[in-house]
Amino acid sequence: MKFGVITFPGSNCDHDAYWAAQQVSGQKAAFLWHESHDLENCDAIIVPGGFSYGDYLRTGAIAKFSPVMESVRKFAASGGLVLGICNGFQILCESGLLPGALLRNVGLKFICKPVHLRVENADTPFTSACHKGEVLTIPIAHMEGNYFCDESTLAELQRERRIVFRYSNAEGEITAQANPNGSLDNIAGICNAGRNILGMMPHPERASAPELGCVEGLRIFESLATALATK
């Protein structure tokens, strides 16, 4: 089992994702360079956080044209597991692998803080180690995390249970106050219809060790490891 973590120019959470993936799976992880088409036989791809290509033009707008993303599209089309975190989520949306877009936070400021997430769907390869309705504490750190899509897409996401995480309070209630960035329907993470692509704004790799104050992000990596082991 091997995790592949993409490095774009400007990625700055690639090492963090690499570290967390290795910690959990106890297996190999590899950095994948943006200019290469080679996914080096990785079993799951992580599109990490950061400021790919400086986030010039629009977050994720340039990354979608990179050679590595061509391979990621093919990999995903054949059922490969792809996890996009923060800037990775933005890139997946720009690439058309996930619907919708991430707009600037309603407060117009960068926000870095731990938030509560309610697991809306535990029946995905990314959340099998959680149970539905469970509240995880995982940090966010973004300027553009305000999820938006049109009404029919939202209805589709809801109908197909593709909203995987929603911002909630500690008790698991979905409230306006618990929504840090103005996301539509408190959406923090969604998956594709095939359930093999997940995009999420919160950073599970940052909630990955007791010294860091939180370990609940590891559940995402554990779920992935389980999915790969049973594949």
Partner 1 sequence: MITSPAFVIDPAVLRDHGITPDEYEKIKQLLGGREPSHTELGIFSVMWSEHCSYKSSRVHLKRLPTRSRLVLQGPGENAGIIDIGDGWACAFKIESHNHPSFIEPFQGATTGVGGILRDIFTMGARPVAVMDSLRFGPISSNSGLSVQPGAAAPTQAEIHKNHSVMEGVVSGVASYGNCFGVPNLGGETKFEPCYSGNPLVNAFALGLVKKNEIFYAKAAGAGNPVIYVGAKTGRDGIHGATMASEEFSETSEAKRPNVQVGDPFLEKLLLEACLEAMQTGAIIGIQDMGAAGLTCSTCEMGARGGVGLEIEMDRVPQRETGMTAYEIMLSESQERMLLVAQKGREAEVYRVFEKWGLDAVQVGHVIAENTMRVLEHGNVVAEIPNQALTDDAPVYKRPLQRWEPPVPREKPEHIQWNAGKDHTSDLRRLLASSNICSKRWVWQQYDSMVQTNTVEGPGAGDAGVIRIKDSQRGLAMALDGNGRWCYLDPRLGAMHAVAEAARNVACAGAVPVGATNCLNFGNPEKPHIMWQFSQAIDGITKACEELDVPITGGNVSFYNETLGEGIYPTPVLGIVGIIEDIRQAVHPGFREAGKTVVLLRGSDPGDMADAEPEFGSSEYAKEILGALWGYPPALDLEKEAALQKAVIEMAQAQLLDSAHDCSDGGIAVTLAESAFSKGMGIKVNLVSRGLPSEFVLFAEDASRMVISCDRGKLHGIQQVAVKYGIAADVIGETVPEKIEISVDGAVAVSANVNELHKVFEESLEKALRTEPELVAAD
CA distance 122 to 145: 22
Q: Which of the residues are catalytic?
A: 86, 203, 205
Nearest to 102, CA basis, from 176, 188, 41, 194 = 188
Nearer of residues 77 and 212 to partner 1, judged by Cβ: 212
Q: In whole angstroms, how close is the CB of 16 to partner 1 at the nearest point?
A: 5
Nearer of residues 163 and 184 to partner 1, judged by Cβ: 184
Nearer of residues 112 and 155 to partner 1, judged by Cβ: 112
- By CB atoms closer than 10 A (0-12, 13-18, 19+), residue 211 is exposed
Please provide the distance, in angstroms rounded to a whole number, between the alpha carbons at the two ends of the chain.
10
Residue 221: its H or E element: helix 218-229
Q: In whole angstroms, how close is the CB of 107 to partner 1 at the nearest point?
A: 10
| DSSP helix/strand/coil, 179 | coil
Q: In whole angstroms, how close is the CB of 122 to partner 1 at the nearest point?
A: 25
Chain residues that interact with partner 1, rule: CB under 8 A:
9-10, 12-13, 15-16, 19-20, 49-51, 53-56, 109-113, 139, 141, 143, 203, 205-206, 208-209, 211-213
